[in-house]
A and B are shown apart, each in its own frame.
Chain A
Amino acid sequence: GESVGLHLPTLSVQEGDNSIINCAYSNSASDYFIWYKQESGKGPQFIIDIRSNMDKRQGQRVTVLLNKTVKHLSLQIAATQPGDSAVYFCAEIVYSNDYKLSFGAGTTVTVRA
């Protein structure tokens, strides 16, 4: 089964507000996590990643926070825009004969104008 999951399946946010998407993982040995954005009918698009030796990483309008104590990952999107409407997945690298991505359930973000 999936070792990475998400707390909320949907998130509705007002344009211009900040978005926070949460993710819980179960494999304490995981050392690399990635957030992906998937628009309808397309493949996942890399947003930001973080290694387990970090607790925070910032990109352009996005911040990923990692709390290894409670095995929790979050993605913060600043000043959410209509183009941010998509499904967001957290994923972790797991090793089983090879390094593979294990995806969480996904959160659908809808931006209200």
Chain B
Amino acid sequence: GAVVSQHPSRVICKSGTSVKIECRSLDFQATTMFWYRQFPKKSLMLMATSNEGSKATYEQGVEKDKFLINHASLTLSTLTVTSAHPEDSSFYICSAREQGDYGYTFGSGTRLTVV
């Protein structure tokens, strides 16, 4: 079946630094990838939708300059949390969808802790 690899699984960084999270579709071409944020004991909140080769579409309230998304190839999307602060600490999850498919495959998530 479809597999999405997300890396790193955990990261701790200092305030003010930037962190990059990678999301790769291993056995299919993901024309669309989604990035979610999840707080403890809460649901997944969609942050942005990225389509290969075009700018990401951000959900209302999500700072695009804070959360940089790049979808340069059909198998890789990256989320960069810029100038991270403790309030950015969260569980970030990516999802990938193949063109013409309704299936959404999720990565295993990245636990970001900003100290």
Residues of B within 8 A of A108 (CB): 41
CA distance A103 to B106 in the complex (A): 13
* Contact across chains for A89 and B49 when beta carbons are under 8 A apart: no
CA distance A37 to B93 in the complex (A): 14
Q: Chain A contact residues: over half helix, strand or loop, or mixed?
A: strand
Most A CB contacts (10 A, CB to CB) among B34, B42, B57, B104 go to B104
Residues of A within 8 A of B13 (CB): none
CA distance A46 to B105 in the complex (A): 8
A16 at the interface (CB under 8 A from B): no
CA distance A100 to B35 in the complex (A): 11
Residues of B within 8 A of A106 (CB): 42-43
Residues of B within 8 A of A104 (CB): 43
How many residues from B make CB contacts under 8 Å with A?
25
Residues of B within 8 A of A103 (CB): 43-45
- 8 Å CB contact of A101 from B4, B41, B46: B46
- 8 Å CB contact of B106 from A41, A45, A102: A45
* Contact across chains for B106 and A44 when beta carbons are under 8 A apart: yes
A61 at the interface (CB under 8 A from B): no
Scan B76-115; emit 1 where CB is below 8 A from any A CB, else 0: 0000000000000001010100000011111111010000
B residues near A, CB below 8 A? Answer: 4, 6, 32, 34, 41-46, 49, 51, 57, 91, 93, 95, 102-109, 111
A residues near B, CB below 8 A? Answer: 2, 32, 34, 36, 41-46, 49, 89, 93, 97-106, 108
